[in-house]
Amino acid sequence: MRLTRLFRVIFRLFQQLWSIYQHSLQTVFRKRPSFAAQFAIWGCLLLLATSATRAFAYEPTASVPFTPETATETTTQIARPNPASVPLPAPPPMEQPEEPVVTPAPAPAAQFLPKIGVNHQHEFRGAWVASVVNIDWPSRSDLSVSQQQAELINILDRMQELNLNALILQIRPNGDALYASEIEPWSGWLTGTQGKAPNPYYDPLEFAIAESHKRNIELHAWFNPYRAKMGGEKYPYGPNHMAAQYPQYAYQYGDLIWMDPGAKPVQDRVYNVIMDVVRRYDVDGIHLDDYFYPYPKEGIQFPDSQTYNAYRQAGGTLSVSDWRRQNVNQVIERIWKGIKTEKPSVKFGISPFGIYRPGKAPGIVGMDQYEAIYADVKLWLEKGWVDYLAPQLYWRIDPPQQSYPVLLQWWSDHNPFRRHIYAGNYLSKLDGSSWPISEFERQVEISRAGADKLSLGNIFFSMKVFKENRLGVNDRFRSQLYTTPALAPTMPWLDATPPQSPTGVSLNGRNLTWNRDSSNEVRSWTLYQQVGNNWQLKQIFNAQTTSANLAPGTYALCAADRLANESAGVVVSVR
């Protein structure tokens, strides 16, 4: 019985295999018939032997009677045994792996969360921190490194509490450096001796940048281009100070030492120092103040006649006033172009004297900086050589001779490239009588009212008043002016492309989490909450943050880059 079934199986397999090999003979081996025939015959024999071996390996199924109808069924069972009716042979022993192979669980399905475009009123909220004469930081030149760092952290914490977002840090007060420079000496205002590094060593600018960015505060590096020494300054020059290297261009002017802006080595020095910082540090901006040629002193001429005569002998035809303005203009243009070539995202801002020329704005009188310090600020705006201008509007609102709103309006009206205007406010005048807190509150509101003309913020001189909380100014500012955080204004001429929206946004109860940025484009995360039909900015997180605990409500999480461009917000609802 067993042999009969076996032969039937072999016969059917032989028929199928012979058909296959005939087809092979006709196609593959058409050119060599003898070889093809041999190949087909030997292949058939090999397969028959294999099939026979497999057939004898299975036990017969006694419960299925042999009939022509069951032959096909039985053949199928032999070729593909049914586990329910034909027991499979035990598999050969296999070497077991040292550790069990674990199949990973399938990843959870991605959460497809809606996105929405949200925004808020961006505003520049800055404070000048002056190092010269130890006005703001460091408060003394004999502080230890830990005391210096603690003071700076306290300043930044105070700024964060007040929802300020830009630190203007003076890092080159007098041809010296409050940072590690191979060009200029360490500042005596930092260590007590010009040329002496902090001990234990650290880089104050690097430290300030890192701590500022942790708090979502921009850092603008503030340079004085030409001043070499203050009156009464006790620090002798370090050997690499510009006045020591170019004494022929270092002029005594009253109680000051001032470098000649018309001397090519001095111009190169200013440019090289600034570009060195742009290249090596993650600064958000480069900032110059109002000191170009020195403020005039009665009866004293600036002693640059030798440089001017050399210019004339070389064929120059400009008057001395026009030549001096040209010297300043060339440096401003060169710095602007250098920054935009090296790091286009770094902002360039200048804080000039608040009056361009007397009489240009209605009823305004005062110093003529165009003729006195040879700063043609209006030209810089007309050429687009700055990203922002912060005119020092250090007067009150009401006096008509130097009216704050009149001057602000004038600067806003002479801005063809539509650069930002951030008014400078003289907070150090705060005294509770002629300069009450309300004066500064009104000035900020006037600045905000001009937002349609790019009046987009304020910078306060100086941080010392906030450190003291003079007359309770901090409480008033926090409760009346700066009640919520804000990003600095965007600058579309530098970059208008927002980063990608946050990824990996997930909600576990009330804990919102998201992925860390891997593109190096995100500077901060902004969290909005829906209030009625509006969205309000609730919080700004630094780039390292990836979670937040939320109260019930509907929120949108956005990514913001270094120029404050915001992505679409990923919407989540917390119950």
Nearest by Cα to 204 from 259, 155, 257 = 155
Measured distance CA(426)–CA(538) in Å, rounded: 30
Nearest by Cα to 474 from 208, 160, 169, 152 = 160
β-sheet bridge partners, residue 353: 392
Sign of CA dihedral 172, 174, 178, 180: positive
β-sheet bridge partners, residue 553: 574
Measured distance CA(151)–CA(169) in Å, rounded: 13
Q: Are 115 and 569 in contact (CB under 8 A)?
A: yes
Output DSSP code: residue 253: E
Nearest by Cα to 360 from 372, 349, 368, 351 = 368
Measured distance CA(40)–CA(575) in Å, rounded: 75
Token pair 């010269």: residue: 132
CA distances from 364 to 140, 349, 485 (A): 39, 24, 35
* Phi, psi torsion values for 456, nearest 5 degrees: -125, 25
SS3 94: coil
Helices and strands in the chain: count of H runs, count of E runs = 16, 19
**H or E stretch at 546:** none
β-sheet bridge partners, residue 186: 177
Which string of b and e fits 329-344 if b means at least 16 CB within 10 Å?
A: bebbebbbebbeeeee
Show the tokens assigned to 187: 């500042």
State residue 7's pLDDT score. 52
State residue 15's pLDDT score. 55
β-sheet bridge partners, residue 442: none
State residue 390's pLDDT score. 98
Beta strand 553-561 pairing with 522-531 = antiparallel
**Phi-psi region for residue 517, left (φ > 0), alpha (ψ -120 to 50) or beta?**
beta
Query: For the segment 98-112, what is each residue's pLDDT rounded down to a tens digit?
Result: 444 444 444 344 456
Measured distance CA(189)–CA(175) in Å, rounded: 12
Per-residue 3-state assignment (H helix, E strand, C coil) for 481-499: HCCCCCCCCCCCCCCCCCC
Sign of CA dihedral 449, 455, 457, 463: negative
Instruction: Report, as ranges of residue numbers, the positions in the chain whose pLDDT lies below 50.
Output: 1-4, 6, 9, 20-21, 23-37, 39-110
Measured distance CA(350)–CA(335) in Å, rounded: 11
- Count the neighbouring beta carbons within 10 Å of the beta carbon of residue 297: 12
| pTM of this prediction exceeds 0.85 | no
**H or E stretch at 137:** none
Domains of the chain and any CATH numbers: 2-79 (no CATH), 124-481 (3.20.20.80), 495-574 (2.60.40.10)
Instruction: Sort 433 into a burial class: Cβ within 10 Å, 0-12 / 13-18 / 19+.
Output: exposed
Q: Are 166 and 124 in contact (CB under 8 A)?
A: yes
Measured distance CA(284)–CA(276) in Å, rounded: 14
Nearest by Cα to 421 from 489, 339, 330 = 489
Beta strand 285-288 pairing with 347-350 = parallel
Show the tokens assigned to 160: 């964060």
Measured distance CA(183)–CA(263) in Å, rounded: 18
Which distant-in-sequence residues (6+ apart) come within 8 Å of 268 by Cβ? none
Query: For the segment 349-397, what is each residue's pLDDT rounded down to a tens digit?
Result: 999 999 999 999 999 999 999 999 999 999 999 999 999 999 999 999 9
Measured distance CA(235)–CA(132) in Å, rounded: 12
* Phi, psi torsion values for 523, nearest 5 degrees: -95, -30
Q: Are 76 and 61 in contact (CB under 8 A)?
A: no
* Phi, psi torsion values for 374, nearest 5 degrees: 65, 40
SS3 218: strand
Nearest by Cα to 474 from 166, 155, 220, 209 = 155
